[in-house]
Amino acid sequence: MQEYLPTQTKKTYTRQPHPEPEVMDVAACAAFLGTTAYAIRARIRRRQIPYRRFMGRIAFLKEEIVQFLKSLPTDDPL
């Protein structure tokens, strides 16, 4: 009679993708907000929009822009 030995299975671990923040430049941020790059740069000069500088370039984190938009007051009277 043949003996059946349990087969060893190799454990595989699936790595969950780490959500990386989406980084946008001025043009991408302008397209995301539906405005012009000139208007975005004007808001940067007036410090009206969250941004970061990296190696001399201006960068926006999409998550920060969304949070910024959510924090703005609405015109909808209740």
* Global confidence as pTM: 0.68
Does the pLDDT of residue 15 top 70, yes or no?
Answer: yes
9 in any annotated domain: no
Q: Which domain holds residue 37?
A: 23-70
32 in any annotated domain: yes
18 in any annotated domain: no
Residue range 20-69, pLDDT digits in tens: 669 999 999 999 999 999 999 999 999 999 999 989 999 999 999 999 99
**Confidence class for position 2, pLDDT limits 50, 70, 90:** low
pLDDT at 20: 65
66 in any annotated domain: yes
27 in any annotated domain: yes
Sign of CA dihedral 50, 53, 54, 57: positive
pLDDT at 68: 95
* Number of structural domains the chain divides into: 1
Pairing of strands 23-24, 52-54: unpaired
15 in any annotated domain: no
36 in any annotated domain: yes
